[in-house]
Structures are given as C-alpha cells and as structure tokens.
Structure 1
Amino acid sequence: MFAVLSAIARLIGIGGVLFIGLLIYEEGVPGANRIPFLTSIPVIGDLTAGRVHTYAAQQVKLATSNMVTKFERDAIASQLATERLLLSQANRAAADDRARATEALKQKTQAEAALEARIAADTGPDGGRWSEEDDRWNIAR
C-alpha cells in the first residue's frame, strides 16, 4: 500500500497528492457512503463519507429534530388552547350554577316566609280553618 502511494506521489507530485487527499476529504470515497456500517465509524466514516456528506447528514438531523420540536410545540399549544377553552366554559357554567343556586335559595326563603305568614294568619277558635283550596284537595283525594 505504501509502495503504491509513493509511486503515485512520484508521478503527480506532492501537490497532486494533497489535491487528491483534500478532494477525498471533502467528497469522500465514491460509493463508500452506501456502506452503512463504514460511515458509522468515527474517523473512518468521516474520511470515507466525506465532509460534504457528513455535513449534509448533520443538517438533515438538525432540521428533523427542529421539525419534531415544532410539531410537539404546536401540539402542546393546541392542547393548551383546548384546555383554556374548557376551563373558561367550566367557569361560566359554575357562575351560572351559583346564580341559579342563589336565586333558588331566595325563592325558598320567600316561600317559607309566605308559608309562615299563611300559618300565622290561619288561626281561629278551633285552631285552624279550612280554605277552599283544602276542600278541593280533600275532594280530589
């Protein structure tokens, strides 16, 4: 191997060897990037795949990771918006329920006061009197 390299160096000179070496460093060995395990070896992979291919692969990984991150961020933002909408609907429903409960309590208090007033007004020597409403109820029973 060393003999071949020295013969090539004598033929094209040190400048030619450096040019070919830099070309291989930039572009890689043709067809070597198709060998999957060869490009995964740290130093040999950089030399065989080339700087251009390695840089492109890193950029693809970076872009893909940003796309996944953007997708996750959009999904979380959508979920947050949905939860905020549900929270506002729940708060509105709770406020409506509180208002109805307050109104029902007010009506109950008024009905109890009216009942107490009717009971207080319904006194006589016999301890109570029948009204027309009581007669209708007795007949319907």
Structure 2
Amino acid sequence: MSHSLLLQGSRTQLINQLVYFDEQKKDFLDQYFPNSAKERSKIELLLSVYSATLEKILGEFNEESLNSTVLIGSRMKISYLEDGFTDSYTIVFPHQAEPNSNKISFLSPIGLQLLMAKINETYQLKISSGEIDVKLEEIMYNNCGYL
C-alpha cells in the first residue's frame, strides 16, 4: 500500500473519531460512566480537549503532526528513566483493549495520562505503586483508532 494511501487512511480514521465523539459522546459516556458524575465530567472534558486536538491536527494534516501527539490509534514507545527500559503501547478504544498485546484503552490509568502526550517529553505517571518517570520516545499513528 502506498504511503499516501496510508496517510489518507489515517486522516479518515481521525475524522471518524471526531464525528463519533461529536455524535455519540453521550452514549459513550452512558456506557462507561453511567453512575459516576465526577468521573463522567472529567472524561467529558478530556473528550472535548481531544476533539480540539484532532481538529488542530486535521487542519495542518501531515505525517509530522500525526506522529507528534498520542492519539487513539497511536503506538508509542516510552522509556522508563529510572532504568532505561523501554516499552511500546498502542492506545485504543476500550472495546479494542488487549493488555497482553500492549493495546491499552485510552480510559485506562496509563492511557488517560498519556493521551495527547507529546513526543520527546518527559511525564511522571501515577501507578498503583507510586509514580514513575517516563520519556515519550516515539509515536506512530498506525490506524488502530477505528471504531
């Protein structure tokens, strides 16, 4: 498949996400946060910021902008600063999560903290055992953001 077709497919996926969150946000929130007003409000705000981020990326659409920010459908490589160990994760919709394959939901604790993260930035992630410093080494949007 040609590079331009892959890029066009990525653009289509992002547009589909934008339309989905515009038209189906209430249903999505009802499904995942039916009884938690506080958490629901937090995710609703996150989705608004995410949609604005998608609009910005689509407005200047190119490979560099596509791979500069973690999106739903992005594979990212992170480096743990304490020991230099690296790991890769793909951020996906909740129904696509496969933790054994390093596909994590954007609603997971790590997914929420890294969604919209920027390449070459350092982040302090809150994990069950405390906090850990990581650097976002690489982002590659790989068309896993389908609905």
Mark yes or no: TM-score above 0.5: no
For Structure 1 versus Structure 2, the TM-score category normalised by the shorter chain is under 0.3
Higher helix share: 1
Higher strand share: 2
What TM-score, normalized to structure 2? 0.22
What TM-score, normalized to structure 1? 0.23
